[in-house]
Amino acid sequence: MKHRNFSKFSLLLSFLGALVLLFILAPLISITFSTSLSSVFKTLEDQEVAKSIWLTLWASMTGTLILGLGAVPLAYLLARKNFRLKRLVSGIIDLPVVIPHSAAGIAILGVISRDTWIGKSASILGFDLVGHPAGIIIAMAFVSIPFLINAARDGFEQIPERLEIAALNLGASPARVFLEISLPLAWRNIVSGLILMFARGMSEFGAVVIIAYHPMITPVLIYERFGAFGLDYARPVAILFIGICLAFFILLRMLVKEKTRYA
């Protein structure tokens, strides 16, 4: 009797799960079968599309790697240290996830525009952050960095603190403990956070379109072509970019899995 009830419950869970999967897959299946291969191959030869995809990939990767240098140590402090206003700091970190990204773009613009000291400093170096790949990197990193910090913090929290204490008692410096014990043990969560930050940065639209409509990243290009020429013209770019994002995401996940198996 119990087994029968459990089977019915499992069936219900499977049905609900299938509905969620269908909700995710239906738009992707629809766009795939409504786009001809010839239009996709023609889009591959479009230099504007190729440049936008390349800009999107390297801008997101650059922001992820640069901000990661500070995000991982911050995650370690949040996992290991108790201090005043810690909850406030955690809330601030999550703000880019919850605020509208168009509002995030406006906020970033108020810091890097030409009449701010950051904007003036960039002008002295010979470029403006607004309408520049550097501004795109800032916008992408702003909306995606919470994913890295939270993932890395979870990884550090899973490490038994007694291991670090034992190393300190044996004479290791805090820096050595962090580099040789904490980082290696939390690396899987850190890499997962880097992947999520990179993927989230690639998909950003709202903040980037305010900071830099040109040069166009691919989400902005898709929007521009949809608004100017309609669905049929935008769809091949969209399916191409979805495929590239999916390929990168699967590849990075496979690399993490292989490293874990080797370890």
* Domain hosting residue 214, numbered range: 46-262
Does some domain include residue 41? Answer: no
Q: Are residues 107 and 185 in the same domain?
A: yes
Tokens of 73: 């140590």
Does some domain include residue 40? Answer: no
Q: Are residues 58 and 143 in the same domain?
A: yes
CATH number, domain with residue 229: 1.10.3720.10
Q: Are residues 8 and 62 in the same domain?
A: no
Does some domain include residue 242? Answer: yes
Does some domain include residue 39? Answer: no
Q: Are residues 211 and 111 in the same domain?
A: yes
Q: Are residues 93 and 21 in the same domain?
A: no
Q: Are residues 201 and 241 in the same domain?
A: yes
- Whose tokens are 């909850």? That residue is 87
Does some domain include residue 229? Answer: yes
For residue 160, report the phi and psi dihedrals to the nearest 5 degrees: -60, 125
Q: Are residues 220 and 98 in the same domain?
A: yes
Q: pLDDT in tens for each of the 263 residues of the chain?
A: 555 556 788 888 999 999 999 999 999 888 888 888 888 888 888 999 999 999 999 999 999 999 999 999 999 999 999 888 899 999 999 999 999 999 999 999 999 998 899 988 888 888 889 999 999 999 999 999 999 999 999 999 999 999 999 999 999 999 999 999 999 999 989 998 999 999 999 999 999 999 999 999 999 999 999 999 888 889 999 999 998 888 877 877 776 665 555 44
Q: Are residues 59 and 139 in the same domain?
A: yes
What is the number of structural domains in the chain? 2
Does some domain include residue 21? Answer: yes
Q: What is the pTM of this model?
A: 0.89
Please report the pLDDT score of residue 84 as a whole number: 87
Please report the pLDDT score of residue 90 as a whole number: 92
Q: Are residues 23 and 70 in the same domain?
A: no
Does some domain include residue 75? Answer: yes
Does some domain include residue 53? Answer: yes
Q: What angle do CA 142, 74, 166 make, to 5 degrees?
A: 160
Q: Are residues 165 and 239 in the same domain?
A: yes
Helix H segments across the chain?
2-33, 37-44, 47-80, 86-98, 101-112, 117-124, 133-157, 161-169, 174-177, 183-202, 206-211, 218-229, 231-262
Q: Are residues 196 and 139 in the same domain?
A: yes
Q: Are residues 64 and 168 in the same domain?
A: yes
